[in-house]
Structure 1
């Protein structure tokens, strides 16, 4: 068992927990389910049935958007904690808050650093060089509108950050369970399992000697390895003193030039850059606005993060192997 898993076990409140994971069928969510079982917890996974969890995990099939179907699937089950991996809107949060009222002592939602994005027009950019603390976006004070067209995929895609902010706000005000929101940094690692493909984008372009499109002025951001995020979610789910918003990012800030340099060193190449015009789309992680997060609160509560520069070379090697593998 890793040191992080041992730490999580030490912080558990009463040993085995009954944990309900909503989603948990891909990437770090799938790994979280395995971590929970490996540390002795009793796990129930709820999804729409497209992917089955491991054989020793209870599987309930329901659409989390269908309140009646979700209630029926749960039956009389109760849990120590719910880990919600796929909540994107305040409407989904409101449904879950009603359904799990009286069923769980704690509720943990996977959120995102995008809640801090000043490009949404509702936040002012933080001062350059100052990672943002959780209180920058206070879910207890954030306005909620359930009447917005959250069911429309195009609207939701364009308002991803706002959907997460309002979902956090709904759960924070529910008052029927202790609530925590893990605001994840950009997640990397896992090779072919990395469903965003952003690291592969860099590996492929640098390996092929192709230019990366970057802003004239680039600002740093934060990252986290998918295994570290799974470990943090395990810890946050089973440590009852963890409540409220919680930033989740490995130690150290990187801008697009730093990231490209580390990748290029792994590949034995030199990164090439092209400066984009105003309004032109740049490569992922080239940011012209500042919303890097501080992980100080999580560390004060007892979680130890690794430096990004320690795990990034390994993630690059995985992405390189995955991109070279033949398709079947």
Structure 2
């Protein structure tokens, strides 16, 4: 049994992670602002992670074996957490994102066409940190989500006082109504109604992960391994927007209709005109067995069809 703290953990794969950690016999504490209570048997600390004094007061003298941070989006939040948990934990796992590799949001090293990117493409040990930027502004943060995650990883990597690992998640699907992004529903509804899907002329493939698989990987990262640094988390198999739509069409008995977007026009989610796929080789070498996207995606589509009028 380990003492594990989850910051956030009130919805989707974070909620599932808390449930699975508790079911596995670990002593789990959830920290959030109090809007959602954790399951019975899970300790609850109410604090705003952006308020350092309140966070430290809520923690008191409590220590943990591992902290899993589900809701760190900026270098300012990372710096607060690094100070608050220094001396209180020996390991810290942050949920990050595939978007750190988006070449549209920063100048990144180029990779050969069609090559999924490895973790070293974005090295947090050398990434510049700008805590003076307006991270507290929601509009700014939404527009700079990828950069906020990159800089948060950098803060923990360079100045934390504990072993740090980041899990860079692929696009998460599954869970029916729990899937709060609504991106899978976007496609299912349009295909079922015959509405055109806006795509790039040469859409590039990307990677996905089922929300249960991501919860399993985070549990593994917190309790069964001691790796540090970034780790890509994605199921096997690349899909572009047309392949994804074709699979949905096969499930719904409808054929997708497409419209090619012009320069500067917004395409549907998961249509990318730039490289946007990760390599999961490192996680496999460390011992995590990934599923294939094609194995679980039909079930994920069926879950959404069952919860939406299409």
TM-score range, shorter chain: over 0.9
Identify the residue that residue 278 of structure 2 maps to in structure 1. 293
Tell me, yes or no, if structure 1 residue 180 matches structure 2 residue 189: no
TM-score of the aligned structures, taking structure 1 as reference length: 0.93
Cα distance between partner residues in 2 of 1:324 and 1:315? 16
Identify the residue that residue 10 of structure 1 maps to in structure 2. none
Alignment of 1:12-51 (within 5 A): 16-51=1-36
State the SS of the aligned residue for 2:306: helix
Tell me, yes or no, if structure 1 residue 213 matches structure 2 residue 198: yes
Tell me, yes or no, if structure 1 residue 318 matches structure 2 residue 303: yes
State the SS of the aligned residue for 1:86: coil
State the SS of the aligned residue for 1:106: strand
TM-score of the aligned structures, taking structure 2 as reference length: 0.98
Identify the residue that residue 280 of structure 1 maps to in structure 2. 265
> Residue 127 of structure 2 contacts residue 150 of structure 2 at CA under 8 Å; is this kept in 1?
yes
CA deviation after TM superposition for structure 1 residue 242, in Å: 1.9
Unaligned runs of 5+ in 1: 1-15
State the SS of the aligned residue for 1:45: strand
> Residue 251 of structure 1 contacts residue 306 of structure 1 at CA under 8 Å; is this kept in 2?
yes
Tell me, yes or no, if structure 1 residue 271 matches structure 2 residue 256: yes
| 117, 121, 126: which one aligns with 1:141 | 126
Deviations 1:58-111 (A, max 9, x none): 001000000000000011100000000000000000000000000001000000
State the SS of the aligned residue for 2:212: helix
State the SS of the aligned residue for 1:324: coil
Deviations 1:115-164 (A, max 9, x none): 00000132245322100000000000101011111111111111100000
State the SS of the aligned residue for 1:182: strand
Tell me, yes or no, if structure 1 residue 119 matches structure 2 residue 104: yes
Over the residues paired in the alignment, what is the CA RMSD in angstroms? Answer: 1.0
Alignment of 1:1-328 (within 5 A): 16-324=1-309
State the SS of the aligned residue for 1:119: coil
CA deviation after TM superposition for structure 1 residue 175, in Å: 4.3
User: CA 1:76 to 1:101, structure 2 compared with 1: closer, same or farther past 3 Å?
Assistant: same
CA deviation after TM superposition for structure 1 residue 324, in Å: 2.9
Moved over 4 A (4+): none
> Residue 222 of structure 1 contacts residue 252 of structure 1 at CA under 8 Å; is this kept in 2?
yes
Count matched residues. 310
Deviations 1:184-211 (A, max 9, x none): 0000000000010000000110011111
Cα distance between partner residues in 2 of 1:120 and 1:56? 42
Cα distance between partner residues in 2 of 1:39 and 1:258? 37
Cα distance between partner residues in 1 of 2:106 and 2:303? 37
> Residue 82 of structure 2 contacts residue 160 of structure 2 at CA under 8 Å; is this kept in 1?
no
Identify the residue that residue 8 of structure 1 maps to in structure 2. none
Cα distance between partner residues in 2 of 1:282 and 1:127? 24
State the SS of the aligned residue for 2:307: helix
State the SS of the aligned residue for 2:262: coil
State the SS of the aligned residue for 2:67: strand
Cα distance between partner residues in 2 of 1:120 and 1:243? 25
Cα distance between partner residues in 2 of 1:153 and 1:74? 27
Unaligned runs of 5+ in 2: none
